[in-house]
Structure 1
Amino acid sequence: MPSIAQARGHRYPVRMAHLGLGNFHRAHQAWYTQHANALGMDADGWGIAAFTGRSPRAAEALSAQDCVYTLVTRAADGDSAEIADAISRAHDGAGAEWEHTIADPSVAVLTVTITERGYEPAQQQTESAGARIVRGLRARARASAGDIALVSCDNLRGNGEALRLAVLREVDDGRLARWIGEHVAFVSTMVDRITPATTDADRAATRELIGHDDAVPVVTEPFSEWVVCGEFPAGRPAWHSVGVRFVDDVEPYEQRKLWLLNAGHTLLAATGMPRGHETVAEAFADPECRGLLEELWAEARVLLPFDATETDAALAALRTRFANPRIAHRLLQIDDGGLQKLRQRQVAIITRRLDAGSEPGRASLATVEAWGRAHGLDLAEALDVLQPGLARRVYLR
């Protein structure tokens, strides 16, 4: 059977870079870029140089098939496939090609998907994501390559500002700090598309769909959303023409996602795994988990600055997405990094409700309690691990 590498047609010139090459980037930012390229509004199009964050394996596997891959959209009633080619090059992020790319004046945008933990200082002798970006920006400044937009695509509130702080923390040169202040725009976004890890069964299904061998297909859900807030001083793809929403304030959309989708996932992971469930769809089908989830959504929706019609529509879409049995979104994958995720999700809901003079929310507390139980903590201990003094606020309100 022929390799999918033979499906490569036009190779777009590299005008974007990405740090954190993985399935989500290929299903989201690269997918939007591909669809913008297809409109032909920019004659040259936008190609992406994608870099791995930790291991070089993803870049090696993608490069082996000329950076062409299959995006499989998995709906409840069947699969559809498209060939994706917006990534023009894939590299190990630790290599010298990183600095060469960021120093290229043709590169106008750097998107990042480095997970919540990527915004923290590096442990031991490893290079942090912020330090790697500074290394690239230093090369760009030396080359007088001009302005660039850095676009955070991770599940953090104020992720553009979080990225700016992570970068500036690694700068020890006053001149470079001034250059960054003058030439680098930090853009905040809200991103959403469930993209599970690829399995051997997915690779076999892809082969049946397209008639090519593809070692690294991406399987994703039909739903996708991208909300962007910030400036692009050197230009960007025509994302606005393919469904990307550009807004003056991204925070309400971040809250909607964190407190409805992400907090819902955390609840299903914390309460579903002890009941033997492995996926979101399995836990969602469990009446006990589903009942707590609906309570959580009731607790969170009153905190959101959207009217009832918009929130109802968002929740209806979530119910459809969570019920899709053909998207195997693993609860174990959601549970990874639970401490940081709980702080952004359930703890934020609890504290916002307490600040408003309301009770903390039974479903939010049940999620924290289930997480604490898995780590040998009672509810009060778990609350204080997540936020010192929170147990006192909960119990003495």
Structure 2
Amino acid sequence: MTTESVQHSATPQHTATQHTAAHRPRRGARPAAPTGIVHIGLGNFFRAHLAWYTEHAPDRGDWGIAAFGGRGAGLARTLRAQDGLYTLVTRHPGGPVSETVASLSACHGGAEHARLLDLVADPRTRVVTLTVTEAGYRRGPGGGLDHTDPEVAADLAALGRSRRAPVTTVPARLVAGLAARHDAGSGACTVLSCDNLDGNGAVTRRVVREAAAAVDPGLASWIEDTVAFPSAMVDRITPRTGAGEIAKVLLPSGTADRAPVTTEPFSEWVLQDDFPAGRPRWEDAGARFVPDVTAHERRKLLMLNGAHSLLAYAAPLRGHTTVAEAVADPVVRGWTDGWWDAAQRHVPLAGADLARYRAELAARFANTGIRHRLAQIAADGSQKLPVRVLPVLRAERDAGRLGPAVTRPLAAWLLSLRGGPPDDPLGTDPLGTDPLGTDPLADDPLADDLAAAAAGAPADAARRVLRLLDPDLAGDEDVVTAVAAEAAALSAGG
């Protein structure tokens, strides 16, 4: 990847002795670096992407990552026992290549809230990063913070009583951390989302500011003036790690790695360069810095993520369990090509760039070295489909094109909600870090509403389910009829 900008803010001077972790020995690996980044979301994608880019930055010795998990602490305990080290296994078509990643300086469970506040407040922390999935931002129908969410309401009430009160939702955790930074007088920092959302920087800024305003309007003003929220596009397919993978991987010390990560060779990261307190030299590891990431976000969300959602719901109807199996089926590959034909019409990039990206996607999806389970992709459909699929459906509808290519993802999702998922023969998550997602309603914030909406006559079910995604589409009889008709065709084997 080329570097479009190599300018970034000067890094404040500090020494490794400022953080006690800096000199901690780690058998077979470099010492832990002083913490410069605090990350929320200790999952596989973060460890295959942001942590990997930081590992390969030439100034990695100044930018250790203190990572926090979600509600569970199992993965954090496992990584802590390994001194934060883990193996990244890159699955090339010709065979795997392994490397040890040592960019994690500390690993914490989500409940270690006081530690999160202390680290965000520390002036040596200059970047706070997130990989919490679309659902983690707790947005309502209008895109802002969902104040009707009981957990959000409880967190805001708790912060109103004490800004150091334990909270669990991501917007509240960020507000609590930034409040601690404000109170400590630690100055500017950057909050960087690495989730698949259009304008993820603006999304993060909005939910954080709205949460802060509910706690303290003065804090919200300070955040607006002091904290940067750049947008970024992230891309690297990272399946869950299988039990067989874990059994084979060793750390440099010769002990078993209990938390390896598998990923694909391809990786892309495009960011706005807005880091007032400094950042690692990620561009030297392949990241690109551009003034506006919108077109790159749209390309990835619609073409890669949109196709993934299509495959996740439609391909199991033909007995497939992984992406590579699915696209080897000529029928499913035809569905995928139809989706790409429609999606790329609405990506504002040059035709040659889109053709190259589409060819890369086809090769990535067909990589049999990656066992990317469709059930993993299927989780949280109510959060993913509005940003991955609905923009294409709306644009094609406006252009007078409402064919099966753009209604199929929604129709297949409707069938998955009505009939339940096929069995997933690929086993359980050996790390116990999160559910496998074999049920498309598992952990979906709208699970109860979706289960009720999907029942009954197909056309009525289509209308009710669409209403939960977009009331305007639910009021469009042509869209409702087309989705219901495609669901019937898929049920009949079409």
* TM-score interval, smaller chain: over 0.9
Bigger shift: residues 192-201 or 165-174: 165-174
**What's 1:170 paired with?**
211
Give the distance between the partners of 1:208 and 1:107, measured in 2 at CA. Answer: 28
* Matched residue type, 1:24: F
Q: Deviations over 1:6-61 (max 9, x none)?
A: 2232221111110011111111001000100xx2xx48421111111221111111
Residue 413 (structure 2) pairs with residue 371 (structure 1): yes
Q: Give ranges in structure 1 of 5+ residues lacking alignment.
A: none
Task: Give the distance between the partners of 2:90 and 2:412, measured in 1 at CA.
Answer: 33
| 2:369 match | 326
Aligned with 1:80: secondary structure? strand
What letter matches 1:19 in structure 2? I
Which of 234, 256, 264 is the equivalent residue of 2:299? 256
CA contact (8 A) 2:93 2:367 kept: yes
State the 1:354 CA deviation: 2.5
- Give 1:74 deviation, angstroms: 0.7
Aligned to 1:127: 168
Note the alpha carbon deviations across 1:158-193, whole angstroms, 9 max, x for none.
Answer: 111111112122212122112111210011111011
Q: Kindly provide the CA deviation profile for residues 116-168 of structure 1, in whole angstroms up to 9, marking residues without a partner as x.
A: 00011454456210001111111111110111000000011111111111212
* Structure 1 pair 230–302 and aligned structure 2 pair: CA distance change class (3 A): same
Contact 1:8 1:66 in 2 (8 A): no
**1:151 aligned to 170, 192, 199, which one?**
192
Residue in structure 2 matched with residue 49 of structure 1 by the alignment: 66
Which of the numbers 134, 137, 159 marks the counterpart of 1:116? Answer: 134
Q: 1:7 touches 1:83 (CA, 8 Å); kept in 2? A: no
Range with greater deviation from structure 2 (165-174 or 222-231): 165-174
CA 1:43–1:77 in structure 2 vs 1: closer, same or farther (change >3 Å)? closer
TM-aligned CA distance change 1:79 to 1:212, over 3 Å: farther
Is the contact made by 1:71 and 1:81 (CA closer than 8 Å) also made in structure 2? Answer: yes
Q: TM-score scaled to structure 2, two decimals? A: 0.75
Equivalent positions of 1:55-66 (< 5 A) are 55-66=72-83
| CA distance, structure 1, for counterparts of residue 80 and residue 98 of structure 2 | 20
Q: Which amino acid aligns with 2:117?
A: E
Q: Structure 2 counterpart of 1:204, which letter?
A: A
User: 1:219 aligns to what SS in structure 2?
Assistant: strand
Does 1:305 pair with 2:388? no
Residue 325 of structure 1, CA deviation = 1.2
Secondary structure of the equivalent of 2:196? Answer: coil
* Structure 1 counterpart of 2:83, one-letter code: D
Q: In structure 2, what residue type is equivalent to 1:35?
A: H
Per the alignment, residue 16 of structure 1 pairs with 37
1:385: Cα distance to partner?
Answer: 3.7
* Paired residues for 1:81-120 under 5 Å: 81-95=98-112, 96-120=114-138
- Please state how far the C-alpha of 1:211 moved relative to its aligned partner: 5.0
Assess, with a 3 A threshold, how the Cα gap between structure 1 residues 264 and 129 changes in structure 2: closer, same or farther.
same
Contact 2:29 2:252 in 1 (8 A): no
- Change in 2 beyond 3 A, CA 1:276/1:210: farther
Answer whether contact 2:86 2:102 (CA < 8 A) is retained. yes
Q: 2:158 matched to which residue of 1?
A: none
Choose from 266, 278, 291 the match for 2:321: 278
Distance 2:190 2:364 in 1: 32
Aligned position for 1:67: 84
Alignment partners' CA distance in 1, 2:360 and 2:331: 21
Q: CA deviation at 1:230?
A: 4.3
Deviation at 1:210, TM superposition (A): 9.1
Give the SS at the match of 1:340: helix
Partner of 2:266: 223
Q: Deviations over 1:315-337 (max 9, x none)?
A: 11111110011211111111100
Question: SS where residue 168 of structure 2 aligns?
Answer: coil
Asked if structure 2 preserves the Cα contact closer than 8 Å seen for 1:81 and 1:210, the reply is no
Structure-2 change in CA distance of 1:176 and 1:317 (3 Å):
same
CA distance, structure 2, for counterparts of residue 247 and residue 166 of structure 1: 24
Match in the other structure for 2:50: 29
- Kept in 1, the 8 Å contact 2:40–2:132? The answer is yes
Q: Aligned in 2, Cα 1:209/1:33: closer, same or farther, shift over 3 Å? A: closer
Tell me the SS of whatever aligns to 1:7. coil
Query: Cα deviations across residues 72-96 of structure 1 (Å, max 9, x unaligned)?
Result: 1111110111111011001123211
Partner secondary structure for residue 6 of structure 1: coil
- Residue identity (%): 43
Give the alignment's Cα RMSD to 1 decimal.
2.1
Which stretch of the first structure deviates more once superposed, 203-212 or 246-255? 203-212
Contact 1:15 1:109 in 2 (8 A): yes
Q: 1:80 to 1:394 in 2, by over 3 A?
A: farther
CA distance, structure 2, for counterparts of residue 322 and residue 144 of structure 1: 48
Instruction: Choose from 387, 393, 396 the match for 2:470.
Output: 387
- Equivalent position SS for 2:271: strand
8 Å contact 1:7–1:68 — kept in the other structure? no
Aligned residues: 389
Question: 2:313 touches 2:409 (CA, 8 Å); kept in 1?
Answer: yes
Segments of structure 2 that go 5 or more residues without pairing to the other structure are 1-24, 139-145, 155-166, 419-453, 483-494
Counterpart of 2:422 in structure 1 is none
Structure 1: distance between partners of 2:477 and 2:233: 30
Q: Which amino acid aligns with 2:205?
A: R
Distance 1:24 1:118 in 2: 15
Aligned to 1:269: 312
For 1:343, the equivalent position in structure 2 comes to 386
Structure 1 residue 363, shift from structure 2 partner: 1.3
The one-letter code of the counterpart of 1:17 is: V
